[in-house]
Amino acid sequence: MKWVKALQEITPYKPGRSIEDVIQHYGLKEVVKLASNENPYGCAPSVQEWINSASIHTEIYPDGFAASLRGKLAEKHGVDEGAILFGNGSDEIVTIISRALLGPDTNTVMAATTFPQYAHNAKIEGAEIREIPLTDNGQHDLDGFLQAIDEQTAVVWICNPNNPTGNLIPSDDLKSFLEKVPSDVLVVLDEAYFEYITDPGHVDSMTWLNQFSNISILRTFSKAYGLAAYRIGYAISDPTIITELNKVRNPFNNNSFALSVAEKAIEDEAFIEQCRALNHQQRERFKQYAQEKNIRLYDSETNFVLMEVPNDTDVASEKLLHDGLIVRSGNALGIPGFVRITIGSEEQNDKLFQAFDRLWMEG
């Protein structure tokens, strides 16, 4: 086969282990998955109720323009309808942006370590990848980013808050960074965890859209909305950017049912507020736990934390599996010595803390 060269450098995405697999493999009755930053409270009850009673015309193609959801989101964010691009999850938006802007003559700048799909897609397109190491506390080194940007830079990826560290970039720092980036470089602000931010100083980047015509803000229904299974993400940018990105998008990339579910979900903002508050409460418990036990923990404004483990990260993850807890090993994420844990419900976190106590006792 005449595969494109880039495939020699990459491997298929390796998902974390499923609950069913771990139950079977370890002979457990109950397993808690805290590995993929899903919402432990599911989706809004109003959405679930709607899903249970909904029916669709299965023979009809979806609305490729997603007009109904588009109208509601445009109103929610106070943007033009032409400023929105929908993807099959924000994963697909990353692919669309890469396909539209990256190629062998370009480079792309991102943090190391950050969401792996930026580099994955850039490799497929044959672009040069410029990775800027995070600072010691897991923050983006924005000065380092500026130094790396040159004439050939097409896309800059800012994951804010960052996955896997959870850090939020102070709004003033980010804004003064944006002021310095050349206006023909697309700056992607991937805000998959936006709904979990509680920092009172945080400024919603949607308010910057008029000032910066070269930003693209990515949001998703997969995290706080609890709709990962339906795969709806979106980008908001200047309409001239969306027009170009739309040339690359497949015509029916979101299915009809998922579009309707997302539309229902944005009617229930009370559920998002409730999840934000519950997550914040539980995130504080992680901070307190780490402080009491003198374990290192990165500052997080998301629904996950990176917490230190006493021995090899893969060994620690394996021990946690024996205790019925699926977490993400830092070795796979590029942060050895830590595991990434999705913040669960109170009960799930109780179980996690007990298992962590055992982990540190055994050393």
Which of the ranges 88-96, 104-112, 241-249, 344-352 carries the binding residues for ligand PLP, by CB under 6 A?
Answer: 88-96
Site for ligand PLP contains 341 (CB under 6 A)? no
Q: Considering only residues 23, 28, 51, 228, which one is a binding residue for ligand PLP as defined by CB under 6 A?
A: 228
Region from 86-94, 144-152, 167-175, 355-363 binding ligand PLP, contact rule CB under 6 A: 86-94
Among 100, 192, 236, 309, binds ligand PLP (CB under 6 A): 192
Regarding 91 and contact with ligand PLP (CB under 6 A), the answer is yes
Rounded distance, CA 72 to CA 269, Å? 13
Asked if 159 interacts with ligand PLP (CB under 6 A), we say yes
Interaction between residue 222 and ligand PLP (CB under 6 A): yes
- Of 220 and 300, CB closest to ligand PLP: 220
Decide if 123 contacts 10 (C-beta within 8 A).
Answer: yes
Q: Is 14 exposed, middle or buried (0-12, 13-18, 19+ CB in 10 A)?
A: exposed
With CB under 6 A, what is the number of residues at the site for ligand PLP? Answer: 13
Quick check: 190 binds ligand PLP (CB under 6 A)?
yes
Q: Name the residue nearer to ligand PLP (CB basis): 28 or 248.
A: 248
Q: Which stretch binds ligand PLP (CB under 6 A): 43-51, 66-74, 85-93, 245-253?
A: 85-93
Least Cβ distance, residue 221 to ligand PLP (angstroms): 7
Instruction: Determine if 138 is a binding residue for ligand PLP (CB under 6 A).
Output: no
Residues that bind ligand PLP (CB under 6 A): 37, 89-91, 115, 159, 163, 190, 192, 220, 222, 228, 233
